[in-house]
Structure 1
Amino acid sequence: MGFAEELRSSCAADWDASVGHEFVDRLLDGNLPDPVLRHYLVQDYQFCDAFAALLGQAVASAPSLASRLMFAKVLGAFASDENSYFQDCFDELAVPDVERDGPELTAATRDFDALMRSTLATRSYPAVLAVLLVAEWLYGDWAARAGDPGSWPVAPKHAEWIRLHNNPEYNGWVTWLREEFDAVEPVDTVSRARVADTFAEAIRLERAFFDSVMAAR
């Protein structure tokens, strides 16, 4: 068992609760109400700045050119396809600019953003990978529940969010990220424990974020 799978298994309760969350269920069956999706997207968009910075730090601290180029490629896709999805949905859901750029944050959003930024400040490649891996792998897992595209919701605001996290390129990125994380597993006990704690906290906050979205109903 690799380092990534070992840590995921140790947090199986929070992981499984996130992947099988009511929010995910409602999104996958196309029955997520617009006000809930609107709230989710507005809050989730506030992570984009810190997430982009984490990808940038990964570019800076990766051990090889091949790894740097992979992170740079993903950062470019994040800046185009994913950002376009947010903006298109904001337009459809009539989200004003002030709410897109500076909404009142929930406690769950503030906590997750704080974890991203504190991890960024460490400049630790394994720690940065831990947060990126949780975010990408967990989303890949819940999106995989959607199955074949023929069974996806009809509305683009639901189907496109699934597609962004359930396609061959994305799945390949998650596999690569998991292998990269395994390859840089810290050898000393203290560093390994810190990375494990960061990984576990990221999963806990993913679950708390989904909980907060549904509680906002």
Structure 2
Amino acid sequence: MPTGLTERLIAVNAATWTAAVDSRFVDELLAGTVADEVLARYLVQDYQFCDPFTALLGQGCASAPALPERLVFARQLGMFADDENTYFVDSFDALGVSPADRAEPLRHPATVAFDAVMREALASRSYARVLAVLVVAERLYLDWATRPDADDLAATRPEHVGWVDLHRGPAFTAWVAWLSEQLDTHAPADPAELAAVEDIFSRAVACERAFFAAAYDA
């Protein structure tokens, strides 16, 4: 049985977690066969998470116990503002996404649901709940980006490869490991807070699975 909180939460949600990692979207992205309209739809919706995700990183920085932890969040904020935002802009250009769809698209219900979970964690000001949502958002992506079929990536287009590469490699792997270690270290002793962490983690995993499927809703 997993001993750390992170691995225990993943194990409890294993079926939903695996369904997200092995989703049709990930299959097609890694194979380089995902249709442009599907990828554009996915990225437009994912871009809507930039605001709550940035705020969540900021709350992690504010809620962290000491300066060393705050600096990790600060560095990650800088990376997110640079590398990831650049990928979105370049991919939107390549896929012909209009300025209106970039800035104010009609949000899919799956997007609205995950946005609400992120903002709930943000409003809680609970370090453990913030970590729980961040672990889902980052660890699940690391898991799909390091699937065996990603080792010899069939995809070649920058819009495909770039999204995979943003979610693997030494720096991202270290970031995800650190988040997991933080969640394990700061697992709540209070039963009510632990239950809240377990609940928001499970809902975040369900949101991720639904979000991957939503890319195929025209």
Both structures adopt the same fold (TM-score exceeding 0.5)? yes
Equivalent runs, 1:156-171 vs 2, <5 Å = 156-171=158-173
Q: Figure out how many residues of one structure are paired with residues of the other and give that number.
A: 215
Tell me if structure 2 keeps the 8 A contact 1:18–1:210: yes
1:109-167: CA deviation from partner (whole Å, max 9, x where unpaired) = 0011011111111111100011011000000000001443x534111110011111011
Structure 1: give runs of 5+ residues left out of the alignment: none
How does the TM-score come out when normalised to structure 1? 0.97
Tell me the residue number matched to 2:15.
Answer: 13
Shift of 1:26: 0.2
* SS of corresponding position for 1:154: coil
| Counterpart residue identity of residue 144, structure 1 | T
How does the TM-score come out when normalised to structure 2? 0.96
Tell me the residue number matched to 1:45.
Answer: 47
Tell me the residue number matched to 1:84.
Answer: 86
Tell me the residue number matched to 2:64.
Answer: 62
Structure 1 ranges of 4+ moved more than 4 A: none
* SS of corresponding position for 2:32: coil
Tell me if structure 1 keeps the 8 A contact 2:20–2:212: yes
Tell me the residue number matched to 1:115.
Answer: 117
Distance 1:177 1:47 in 2: 19
Equivalent runs, 1:127-166 vs 2, <5 Å = 127-145=129-147, 146-148=149-151, 150-166=152-168
Distance 1:160 1:42 in 2: 15
| Counterpart residue identity of residue 111, structure 1 | A
Distance 1:159 1:91 in 2: 16
Tell me the residue number matched to 2:179.
Answer: 177
% identity of equivalent residues: 51
Tell me the residue number matched to 1:97.
Answer: 99
| Counterpart residue identity of residue 162, structure 1 | V
1:43-70: CA deviation from partner (whole Å, max 9, x where unpaired) = 0000010000000011111001111000
Tell me the residue number matched to 2:74.
Answer: 72
1:171-216: CA deviation from partner (whole Å, max 9, x where unpaired) = 01111110011000000111100000000000000001111112x1
Distance 1:126 1:152 in 2: 38
**Match for residue 206 of structure 1 among 205, 208, 212:** 208
Tell me if structure 1 keeps the 8 A contact 2:30–2:153: no
Tell me the residue number matched to 1:28.
Answer: 30
Tell me if structure 2 keeps the 8 A contact 1:152–1:159: no
Distance 2:154 2:67 in 1: 37
Structure 2: give runs of 5+ residues left out of the alignment: none
* SS of corresponding position for 2:215: helix
